Amino acid sequence: MNKIVLFLLLVSFSIVHGQQLNCTVTVNAQKMGNPNQQIYKTLETSLNEFVNKTDWTTETFRQQEKINCSMYITLLSHSSDQFSATIQVQSSRPVFDSSYESPVLNINDKDFSFTYTEFENLVFNVNSFQSNLVSVISFYTYVIMGMDRDTFEFKSGDSHYQTAQTIATVAQQSSYKGWSQLDGNQNRYYLINDLLSPTYVEIRKTLFDYHQGLDAMNTDKKAAKEKIKTALVSLNKLYNSKPNAYLTRILFDAKSDEITSVFSGGPSITITDLVDNLNKLSPLNSSKWAMLKY
């Protein structure tokens, strides 16, 4: 076989079209009276196929570029085709020149109810409301992709966030909770509006700078830690105007354990000011900040 033809074939096989995520969707039905009902297994299979086989963007991803993530759905009640649940969404991205995956998103959404009939087709249309199940899953898929892009290039996740915002706007026409500003101040409405708001751009800058620091850890660990520290301390600017920002909590829900790990080993840098700021920015994690080595 012609070597050029063989090369092109190998390249084509290494590229995945229409599959941007490497996502594990788990449906936990232990709280149901009969957790082994086939419908729960069918739901889990359908969601895994929906998330991993839908073409969410025109971008082409190679196998190694697919975003690692998970969606853990805990069913709370089920009657006929009505379901009440929570959904835990997590994602990570690789750190340059290492096997380590850095957590990017870790969010627990408790306003998740939906209808589902076994074997129904799950179809995504950004401009129409098909079902709350499809809308919530699609919404978080675009948030995952947007945040992943933001870690590699500052504000490059805008197009994905805008799609998520369109999903949220269309879903507001339904009666489901979590899409409206009337449903509380920490829900899907505020998540996507804050991500796109200039008021909270410091969060996105921190996310980018922080990961640039992580990517440099194998080159100059001390300089990398200084960069991560600077990125975190820069959140003071947002704290002064929005001390209880939802996005700040989202950031530390994903990053608190990693931050503790980064600043608990060598080489040592001065972190007294960092610890003071972390206790102010995220007091709920004060027990973790107490573990940091000065």
**How far is residue 131's CA from residue 124's CA, in Å, rounded to a whole number?**
9
Burial 205-216 (b: 16+ CB within 10 A, else e): bbbbbbbbbbbb
Token match 């084509």: residue? Answer: 12
Domain assignment present for residue 15? The answer is no
The residues with which 85 forms a beta bridge, in sequence order, are 75, 112
Q: What distances in angstroms separate CA 152 from CA 36, 145, 146, 204, one per listed residue?
A: 42, 11, 10, 11
pLDDT of residue 6: 36
**Angle made by CA atoms 249, 252, 253, in degrees to the nearest 5:** 80
Domain assignment present for residue 3? The answer is no
- Spatial CA neighbour of 234 closest among 284, 187, 281, 165: 281
Q: Give yes or no: residues 146 and 71 share one domain.
A: yes
Q: Where does a domain end: 159, 180, 196?
A: 196
Q: Give yes or no: residues 65 and 112 share one domain.
A: yes
157 within 8 A of 148, measured Cβ to Cβ: yes
252 within 8 A of 285, measured Cβ to Cβ: yes
Instruction: Tell me which H or E stretch contains 279.
Output: helix 272-281
Q: Give yes or no: residues 123 and 223 share one domain.
A: no
pLDDT of residue 19: 65
Q: Where does a domain end: 196, 220, 237?
A: 196
pLDDT of residue 2: 45
Q: Give yes or no: residues 190 and 214 share one domain.
A: no
**How far is residue 33's CA from residue 209's CA, in Å, rounded to a whole number?**
48
Domain assignment present for residue 4? The answer is no
Q: What distances in angstroms separate CA 40 from CA 28, 77, 117, one per listed residue?
A: 8, 12, 10
pLDDT of residue 265: 83
Give 32-41 contacts, CB < 8 A, sequence gap 24+. 32/75, 32/77, 32/78, 38/118, 39/116, 39/118, 40/75
pLDDT of residue 253: 98
- Spatial CA neighbour of 250 closest among 222, 226, 281: 281
The backbone torsions φ and ψ at residue 113, rounded to the nearest 5 degrees and listed phi first, read -125, 150
Q: What is the pLDDT along the chain (294 residues), one digit of tens a residue?
A: 444 433 333 333 334 444 699 999 999 999 998 888 999 999 999 999 999 999 999 877 777 789 999 999 999 999 999 999 999 999 999 999 999 999 999 999 999 999 999 999 999 999 999 999 999 999 999 999 999 999 999 999 999 999 999 999 999 999 899 999 999 889 999 999 999 999 999 999 999 999 999 999 999 999 999 999 999 999 999 999 999 999 999 999 999 999 999 999 888 899 999 999 999 999 999 999 999 976
| DSSP string computed for 61-106 | EEGGGSEEEEEEEEEEEEETTEEEEEEEEEEEEEPTTSS-EEEEEE
Q: Where does a domain end: 150, 177, 196?
A: 196
Whether this model's pTM surpasses 0.85: yes
Q: Give yes or no: residues 77 and 210 share one domain.
A: no
pLDDT of residue 161: 98
103 within 8 A of 148, measured Cβ to Cβ: no
Domain assignment present for residue 223? The answer is yes
In the chain, how many domains are there? 2
pLDDT of residue 147: 98
The backbone torsions φ and ψ at residue 148, rounded to the nearest 5 degrees and listed phi first, read -60, -45
Which range of residues forms the domain containing residue 274? 202-289
